[in-house]
A and B are shown apart, each in its own frame.
Chain A
Amino acid sequence: GQGVEQPDNLMSVEGTFARVNCTYSTSGFNGLSWYQQREGHAPVFLSYVVLDGLKDSGHFSTFLSRSNGYSYLLLTELQIKDSASYLCAVRDGGYKVVFGSGTRLLVSP
Chain B
Amino acid sequence: EAGVTQSPRYAVLQEGQAVSFWCDPISGHDTLYWYQQPRDQGPQLLVYFRDEAVIDNSQLPSDRFSAVRPKGTNSTLKIQSAKQGDTATYLCASSFELGEREQYFGPGTRLTVL
Query: Is B truly associated with A?
Result: yes
List residues of chain A with CB under 8 Å of any chain B CB: 4, 6, 30-31, 33, 41-45, 48, 50, 87, 91, 94-102
Main secondary structure of the interface of A (DSSP, over half): loop
Q: Would you give the shortest CB distance from B86 to chain A, in whole angstroms?
A: 18
| Top 10 A-B pairs, shortest CB-CB distance | A42-B105, A48-B101, A99-B42, A45-B102, A101-B42, A99-B43, A102-B42, A101-B41, A43-B105, A100-B42
Report the separation of the CA atoms of residues A98 and B41 in the bound assembly, to the nearest whole angstrom.
Answer: 12
Chain B interface: which size bin? 20 to 34
User: Is residue B99 contacting chain A, with contact meaning CB distance below 8 A?
Assistant: yes
Residue of B nearest to A103 (CB): B42
List residues of chain B with CB under 8 Å of any chain A CB: 33, 35, 40-45, 48, 55-56, 91, 98-99, 101-108
B41 surroundings in chain A (CB, below 8 A)? 101-102
Report the separation of the CA atoms of residues A24 and B45 in the bound assembly, to the nearest whole angstrom.
Answer: 16
Partner of A33 from the list B33, B35, B102, B108 (CB cut-off 8 Å) is: B102
Main secondary structure of the interface of B (DSSP, over half): loop
Partner of B106 from the list A42, A48, A94 (CB cut-off 8 Å) is: A42
Contact B101 A97 (CB under 8 A): no
Q: Would you give the shortest CB distance from A98 to chain B, in whole angstroms?
A: 7
Known A-B contacts A42-B91, A42-B106, A42-B107; A95 and B42 likewise in contact (beta carbons under 8 Å): no
Known A-B contacts A41-B107, A42-B107; A87 and B43 likewise in contact (beta carbons under 8 Å): yes
Residue of A nearest to B98 (CB): A95
